[in-house]
Structure 1
């Protein structure tokens, strides 16, 4: 005799449910693109009715903007955490550059390309892109200003230096959809070299540190 067990749905608080929707939408945005975000698509992802998604996000435009904002904020917190546990500005900047390459960074670069393109036609997304650009500028400028105050960095205008670094990173990120395996090391390192030059640092200061090896027994 066969039997079946009906899956019991767990009732979640409004905050938990909304966070679940945003998380699912963020995942789809990163892997498939913002154009693939629809209320029905996320409902299928979570195995719920589309009406539940529309209860929290009546407009798909709001969900698209929220998914982009969530992904961009998470990446910023990974690259430049606000509470770096005692790290110096130089160490924070070196760690920042160490994470600006690889599959994860390529994924967020593709999302930025996607969002900036779509923001030409979608006002809500355009506002969210502007907010995220300001957040990234503010976080990086804060690190640079802290370095100037500690006399680790030398620059006449931390804001301008911030823009220069981000412009180079954006330029490199624009190639996230193409094969960059043959990219010269000097090109890959352009953002780091720009930061070192504009901050008065010796070459190599902001390169990722070599892995620490434990002493042989």
Structure 2
């Protein structure tokens, strides 16, 4: 058997190594749950000694929180990329239509489970709680930005984009709360709840945000 320390290893820059550890921890969290993110488990994933992981993350709770943020940021950027300034990008209506189509699929189920997991653990882990709150606010701001733009060009009708963004996010999270128990019932009205809520909030006709 070959020792994990044998052979020649390339010494990585601290920032690169730290990013690698967070990415590996995020994969463990997505596949197995945040409780399974330990220095030893992440070291196994990377085929390194636990002491190396501990050098960058002496407190496992910090690594858990960073892993959560890494996974959920990737989800947010995949579902609702930050919009560039200026013309030439996708319309707010089409962006939301794509967003809700992806949400209704199973592609992001593991991240939905991660959110549920993180909110439960946040009761006991203050560092994770701070990261969850920060990500929730970032989600709201990203949705608010889109609604504000759509309202400005009169595609949406919304008096308070922030409040509407919060209510849409609550509908999304409410649906995701059943991810572990109702996977066989992911049909309307459960899967459609966030979309139909958004259509009502934005003054759109029914099915305006559905995939054509």
Structure 2 length as normaliser, TM-score?
Answer: 0.91
Offset at residue 83 of structure 1 (A): 3.4
Residue 186 of structure 1 corresponds to 189
Aligned with residue 89 of structure 1, among 88, 92, 109: 92
The answer on 1:157 being equivalent to 2:160 is yes
The aligned length equals 204
Residue 198 of structure 1 corresponds to 201
Offset at residue 183 of structure 1 (A): 4.3
Contact 2:65 2:128 in 1 (8 A): yes
Offset at residue 132 of structure 1 (A): 0.4
Where 2:189 maps in the other structure, the secondary structure is: helix
Where 1:97 maps in the other structure, the secondary structure is: helix
The answer on 1:138 being equivalent to 2:141 is yes
Deviations 1:29-62 (A, max 9, x none): 0000000011111111111111110111111010
Residue 8 of structure 2 corresponds to 8
Aligned CA-pair RMSD: 1.4
Moved more, 193-202 or 6-15: 6-15
Residue 20 of structure 1 corresponds to 20
Residue 115 of structure 2 corresponds to 112
Residue 75 of structure 1 corresponds to 75
Question: In 2, Cα distance between the equivalents of 1:155 and 1:83?
Answer: 19
Offset at residue 180 of structure 1 (A): 3.0
Contact 2:104 2:192 in 1 (8 A): no
Contact 1:107 1:176 in 2 (8 A): no
Residue 210 of structure 2 corresponds to 207
Query: Which consecutive unaligned segments of at least 5 residues does structure 2 have?
Result: 1-5
Query: Which consecutive unaligned segments of at least 5 residues does structure 1 have?
Result: 1-5, 210-217
Offset at residue 7 of structure 1 (A): 4.2
Structure 1 length as normaliser, TM-score?
Answer: 0.89
